[in-house]
């Protein structure tokens, strides 16, 4: 199992399981399990949660001399140091710049020193003020990224995040961040369907008390949309029913291969336990 980056970040920042579950809208059992996997001690109530993005920034940095400060927190797939805060990813570089300048950079925040992994506020500059040296963001022929100014213009014109993402090919987290910075309220969007609604719409009863999947299938497996991502429907249903993360593959244990009924599903520990019981009853032959 992999630990969600935002869960890990809050765990390492010293929050309790319940707080993290509430903040991220995830199951508390999955947070506790992630804590165990990361070998993090239980919170004793001593450490105060970070009160601001700046607090978070300082908690995830380490001064290394020469005025440089290294980032010890997570990075996104592009290597940008990030902070997960209130359901949004923030660039730690932009926060470093804000600490230095007292305001957000107009362009992109970039590191000016050569110390590997440095994120010291004094080593971070605004590309709109200090051009990035020899930096080629995209190769020739690739459409340039939509500028911050353009996103600001579209947001203030009242367009939704979704509209801007789709029309301009912009990352939704970037639009959300700029909206938050501008203090603009979110445009009214239809509420996402609940898990239960999606589940009911994607399943139907089958003979013998089983449940058949009639929803979306990817790679031969039922998938369901949760928090904007398509995940295994069996795994999602299993984890909701048992309140813990599934270990290994989740398969129907009822003998009907297509079944998705939550209480007919088993993960590896359940199968192992059953095998042990069968061995105890019938001896090695049954196993
Ligand atoms: Zn530096
Ligand atoms: Zn079944």
Ligand with an atom nearest the CA of residue 261:
2
Report if residue 89 sits inside a domain.
Answer: no
Q: Give the containing element (helix H, strand E) for 88.
A: strand 88-91
Which pLDDT score, from 0 to 100, does residue 284 have? 62
What does the alpha-carbon distance between residue 267 and residue 272 come to, in Å, rounded to a whole number? 9
Name 123's Cβ contacts closer than 8 Å, sequence gap at least 6.
Answer: 67, 68, 69, 111, 112, 113, 115
Residue 42 lies in a domain: yes
How far, in Å, from the CA of 236 to the mean position of ligand 2?
A: 16
Ligand nearest to the CA of 66: 1
Which ligand is the nearest neighbour of the Cα of 70? 1
Give the three-class secondary structure for 26: coil
Which domain-ending residue is among 49, 71, 86? 49
Instruction: Report CA-CA distances (Å) from 74 to 6, 7, 155, 198.
Output: 9, 11, 29, 32
Indicate the burial class of 250 (C-beta count within 10 angstroms; 0-12, 13-18, 19 or more): buried
Residues at Cβ < 5 Å from ligand 2 ion: 210, 254, 256, 259, 261, 264
Which H or E run includes 29?
A: helix 28-37
Give me ligand 1 centre to Cα 265, in Å.
52
pLDDT value for 287:
41
Residue 101 domain-assigned (yes or no):
no
Q: How far is the CA of 183 from the centre of ligand 2 (A)?
A: 50
Strand, helix or coil for residue 189:
coil
- Distance between CA atoms of 82 and 10, rounded to whole angstroms? 12
In a domain, 274, yes or no: yes
Structure confidence at residue 261 (pLDDT):
96
Would 230 be classed as within a structural domain?
yes
CA of 253 to the centre of ligand 2 (A): 7
In a domain, 86, yes or no: no
Counting ligands in written order, the one closest to the CA of 255 is 2
Interatomic CA distance for residues 180 and 198, integer angstroms:
30
The H or E element that residue 125 is part of is strand 124-126
d(CA 86, CA 23): 7
Q: Does 96 fall in a domain?
A: no
The residue segments making up the domain with residue 14 are 1-49
Which pLDDT score is estimated for 209?
Answer: 94
> Quick check: is 258 in a domain?
yes
Query: Which residue has tokens 């509420």?
Result: 191
Block means of pLDDT (10 residues each) for the chain, length 287 residues?
A: 80 80 82 90 62 80 82 84 84 91 87 88 87 54 67 86 80 87 75 82 92 92 88 94 91 94 95 84 62
User: What is the number of domains present in the chain?
Assistant: 2
Quick one: which of 222, 231, 226, 232 has its CA closest to 258? 222
pLDDT at 133: 67
Q: Write b or e for each residue in 203-219: b if 16 or more Cβ atoms lie within 10 A of its Cβ, otherwise e.
A: beeeeeebbbbebeeee
């Amino acid at each position: 199992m992999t630990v969600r980056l935002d869960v890990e970040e809050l765990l390492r920042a010293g929050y309790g399981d319940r707080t993290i579950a509430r903040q991220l809208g995830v199951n508390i059992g999955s947070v506790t399990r992630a804590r165990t996997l990361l070998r993090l001690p239980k919170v004793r109530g001593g450490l105060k949660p970070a009160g601001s993005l700046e607090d978070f920034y300082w908690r995830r940095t380490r001064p290394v001399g020469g005025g440089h400060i290294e980032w010890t927190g997570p990075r996104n797939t592009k290597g940008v140091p990030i902070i997960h805060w209130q359901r949004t990813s923030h660039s730690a570089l932009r926060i470093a710049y804000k600490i230095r300048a007292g305001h957000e950079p107009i362009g992109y925040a970039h590191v000016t020193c050569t110390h590997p992994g440095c994120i010291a506020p004094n080593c971070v500059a605004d590309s709109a003020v200090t051009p990035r040296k020899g930096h080629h963001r995209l190769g020739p022929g690739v459409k340039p990224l939509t500028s911050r100014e353009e996103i600001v213009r579209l947001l203030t014109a009242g367009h939704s995040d979704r509209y801007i993402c789709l029309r301009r090919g912009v990352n939704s987290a970037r639009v959300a961040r700029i909206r938050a910075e501008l203090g603009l309220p979110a445009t009214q969007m239809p509420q996402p369907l609940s898990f239960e609604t999606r589940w009911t719409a994607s399943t139907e009863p089958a003979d013998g008390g089983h449940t058949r999947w009639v929803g979306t299938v990817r790679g031969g497996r039922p998938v369901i949309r949760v928090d904007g991502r398509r995940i295994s429907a069996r795994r999602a249903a299993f984890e909701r029913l048992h309140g813990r993360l599934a270990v290994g593959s989740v398969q129907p244990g009822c003998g009907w291969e297509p079944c998705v009924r939550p209480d007919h599903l088993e993960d590896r520990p359940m199968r192992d336990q059953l095998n042990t019981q069968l061995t105890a009853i019938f001896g090695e032959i049954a196993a």
